[in-house]
Amino acid sequence: MNLDVVNSQNEKVGTLDVSDDLFGGRIKDHLVWESVVHANAAERRGTHMTKTRGLVSGTGKKPWRQKGTGRARVGEARNPLWRKGGTVFGPQPRSYDFRVPKKVERGALRAALAARLQEQAVVVVDQLAVETIKTKAAVEMLKRLGVTGKGLLVDVKLDEKLALAVRNIDGVRPVETGHLTARDLAGGGRIVVTRAALERLQEVLG
């Protein structure tokens, strides 16, 4: 598979060979799904909490004696059966993160990238950089590359000026190859990746 390499003016400056063994086979959607679920779960705050009978305010004194009153036996006013009592088995602070094997993550990244390549949603550029930290200049460059809405900018190491220039553009997010996930690629929009970044991804995923 040959991909055209363009410059910031969207002019062809070369080609790049992409391995058919990596990105030309059957796309394993279930790996992408598992990776996306893991990424979403890891970002959950998990700070929900209910008060147990040991945390609600109130006295711990026994309301009345155990026998002889004709009423049901009660140990304290904070018991879960009473109004304003504690909650039984309510949610407590926890982490929703879970472990995903590295092979699954790599397979998901490979499948997501292959899907976007087959959709022709990937633009390969020789470099991603701007001369000045101006949002207007970044918008014009992205527009020439076909990014008018959501977009993902992928490079081995992000250009600092570019990262500052695009931070106010809604829907456009720069990311380095070392932090790229299947959820980033599957999130829709156009993907602009440098030649060096795509070569690095081929090396890692191979």
**Residue 158 and residue 136: Cα distance in Å, rounded?**
19
Helix axes 29-42, 102-118, angle to 10 degrees: 120
Written as six digits, the tokens of 27 are 């796309």
Pairing type for strands 190-194 and 122-125 reads parallel
199: burial class by Cβ within 10 Å (0-12, 13-18, 19+)? middle
- Enumerate residue ranges in the chain where pLDDT < 70: none
Residue 177 has what DSSP assignment? G
Task: Give the three-class secondary structure for 32.
Answer: helix
Q: Which CATH architecture has domain 2-34+101-205?
A: 3-Layer(aba) Sandwich (3.40)
| pLDDT on residue 25 | 78
Q: How do residues 39-97 score in pLDDT, each as one tens digit?
A: 999 999 999 999 999 999 999 999 999 999 999 999 999 999 999 999 999 999 999 99
Written as six digits, the tokens of 170 are 């809604």
Q: Which residues of 155-185 are buried (b: 16+ CB within 10 A; e: fewer)?
A: bbebbebbbebbeeeeebbbbebeebbbbbb
Instruction: Name every residue whose Cβ is closer than 8 Å to that of residue 69 and which is 6 or more positions away in sequence.
Output: none
The model's pTM: 0.81
Query: Where are the chain's structural domains?
Result: 2-34+101-205, 45-95
